[in-house]
Amino acid sequence: MEKTYFIETYGCQMNVADSELVAGLLQREGYRETKDIARAAAIFVNTCAIREHAEDKVHSRLGEFNRIKKRRPEVIIGVLGCMAQNLKDVLLENKPYVDIILGPDSYRQLPQILHRKTENKTHIVDTKLSRFEVYDDLFPSRREGINAWVSIMRGCDKFCTFCIVPFTRGRERSRSISSITTEVEQAVEDGFVEVTLLGQNVNSYHHEGKEFHDLLEEVAQIPGLRRIRFTSPHPQDVNRTLLETMAGHRNICNSIHFPLQAGSNKILKRMNRTYTREHFVALTDMIRELIPDVGISTDIIVGFPGESEADFQETLDVMNHVQFDSAFTFKYSPRPWTKAAQYSDQVPEEIKQERLERLINLQKKHTLSRNRRLIGKVEWVLVEKESKKSSRQWAGRTDSNKWVIFDKGSAKIKDLVPVRITAAHGVTLQGQQLKMEEAA
């Protein structure tokens, strides 16, 4: 049978980057990617465990893989990533069609496991977490494109009481600056014009005395790199030096993901977020002061155990003060092993739902008003793809991470062009491309 693989990815960008790493390993073994799951010799699903809903999606996909396995018993089915780690026993008992289960620190073993697997039929499981694995020397196989994901640190030691990540991904560890810059240089040589530096706590990066802002300085010097983004920073490790580094380099985007989670000090403390509402607000004020026209996005959880209406109101108050440009909003979902799952004062589902809707409505207003401020202004937009609505228009992002739709004209994909913003509808902007000399 021809050596082909199919890989499907759930969860955050770290998982996207890990799937590219796995693709690189498989290709070195002579495997070729196929988009046709019905023909693949090996099927992988890279999983996420962050909320129950994420796990449900993977379970339903595994049901589909089971049907494929019944028709083609020789196909190899592999579960990778964050669920592999926490569900290995359940998977082994209930899903005998799964051949391989590998946690996020075990991908190096994949080639050897595939060899063994073709010879015998036993299940192979490795979900041990490592204190050292950063896949320093392995180059990911990236699809051609605009943005290259580059993972710079792995794991998390913060132990927010709602979060499963410290259990699925293990302890925090960082790559060397030189291995990161080599990878970024390679990506630029391969035609990428933007990189996004990735880590569960990207700004907790430290390696041999170097901090995250030192890394940013070095990456910003790489010739040909138009844009640098990073995600996800933890507010605890955002400081003036980092913000000044961002402000001091044109190719470091003026956009920051700044996860609030909750606006009440009582809830923040119970979440073990290590900052107060006052500190968070002071930091956002400093971000807006030091980085002109910055775009700030956030993550917010509603219905954390013990959240009263008054606590929730405090979240809305912080939102009203900060006016986030966008927000990812979630209903609290209890996760195995986490402290908060054991709290007795869980919030009923209807209340979570009702708070979520109020929060989304408020955010919509803020997004619209932040976007409307740009009408009439000129933004530099990186042309990324064709608009979904019209083949005559491009879609690209501003530095501050907002999507803009505009007529194609003479611009090409990967061009960085000046666009005058003409309208704002919901999350997207409309614009008109200017000539370079008009932008000055």
Judged by the rule CB under 6 A, the positions of this chain that interact with ligand SAH are: 50-51, 162-163, 200-201, 232, 234, 259, 261, 299, 301, 330, 332-333, 335
11, 233, 259, 431: which one binds ligand F3S (CB under 6 A): 11
Write the interaction track for ligand F3S spanning residues 35-54; mark x where CB under 6 A is met and - where it is not: -------------xxx----
Q: Please tell me the distance from the alpha carbon of residue 299 to that of residue 113, in angstroms, as a whole number.
A: 38
Which has the closest alpha carbon to 232: 288, 151, 309, 308? 151
343 binds, among ligand F3S, ligand SF4, ligand SAH, none (CB under 5 to 8 A by kind): none
**Shortest CB 68 distance to ligand SF4, Å:** 33
Measured distance CA(297)–CA(242) in Å, rounded: 17
What's the min distance (Å) between Cβ of 90 and ligand F3S?
16
Residue reference for tokens 């013990």? 306
User: Based on CB atoms, which residue is closest to ligand SF4, 114 or 129?
Assistant: 129
Q: With H, G, I as helix, E, B as strand and everything else as coil, classify residue 439.
A: helix
CB atoms within 10 A of CB 435: 11
Select the residue interacting with ligand SF4 from 41, 43, 84, 163 (CB under 6 A).
163
Nearest CB to ligand SAH, comparing residues 85 and 200: 200
Q: Which option in ligand SAH, ligand F3S, ligand SF4, none does residue 51 bind, with CB closer than 5 to 8 A by kind? A: ligand SAH
- Closest CB to ligand SF4 among residues 340, 417: 340
Q: Please, which residues have CB within 8 angstroms of residue 262's CB and are 6 or more apart in sequence?
A: 268, 271, 273, 300, 301, 304, 307, 311, 314, 315
CA–CA distance, 144 with 433 (Å, rounded to integer)? 25
**Token reading at 420:** 């005058």
With a CB cutoff of 8 Å and minimum separation 6, the contacts of 414 are: 146, 191, 193, 382, 383
Q: Tell me which of ligand SF4, ligand F3S, ligand SAH, none is bound by residue 106, counting a contact when its beta carbon lies within the kind-specific cut-off of 5 to 8 angstroms.
A: none
Q: Is 231 in the site for ligand SF4 (CB under 6 A)?
A: no
User: Which 163-192 residues touch ligand F3S, going by CB under 6 A?
Assistant: 164-165, 168-169
Tokens standing for 316?
């809305």
CB of 259 to ligand SAH, least distance (A): 4
Q: Report the residue closest to ligand F3S, judged by CB.
A: 11
Closest to ligand SAH by CB, 257 or 402 = 257
Comparing every residue's Cβ against ligand SAH, the nearest one is: 299
**Residue of 12, 91, 102, 156 that binds ligand SF4 (CB under 6 A):** 156
Which residues 73-132 are close enough to bind ligand F3S by CB under 6 A?
Answer: 81-82
Strands (E), 279-325: 295-302
In the beta sheet, which residues pair with residue 327? 298
Among 9, 147, 200, 203, binds ligand SF4 (CB under 6 A): 200
Count of chain residues binding ligand SF4 (CB under 6 A): 10
Tokens of 351: 């209340």
228-243 burial code (b ≥16 CB/10 A, e <16): bbbbbbbbbbbeeebb
Q: Which of residues 383-412 bind ligand F3S (CB under 6 A)?
A: none
The answer to the question of residue 165 lying near ligand SF4 (CB under 6 A) is yes
Q: Which of 158, 173, 213, 227 binds ligand SF4 (CB under 6 A)?
A: 158
> In angstroms, rounded to a whole number, what is the distance separating the alpha carbons of residues 189 and 183?
10
Residue pair 44/75 in contact (Cβ under 8 Å)? The answer is no
Contact in structure between 5 and 44 (CB atoms under 8 Å): yes
Residue from 154, 229, 234, 355 binding ligand SF4 (CB under 6 A): 234
Question: Using CA atoms, how far apart are residues 279 and 277, in angstroms rounded to an integer?
Answer: 6
Which residue number, 326 or 338, has a Cβ lying nearer to ligand SF4? 338
The full DSSP string for 43-69 is: EEEEE--SSHHHHHHHHHHHHHHHHHH
295-302/210-211 β-pairing? unpaired
Residues interacting with ligand F3S, by CB under 6 A? 11-12, 14-15, 48-50, 81-82, 164-165, 168-169
Residues interacting with ligand SF4, by CB under 6 A? 156, 158-160, 163, 165-166, 200-201, 234
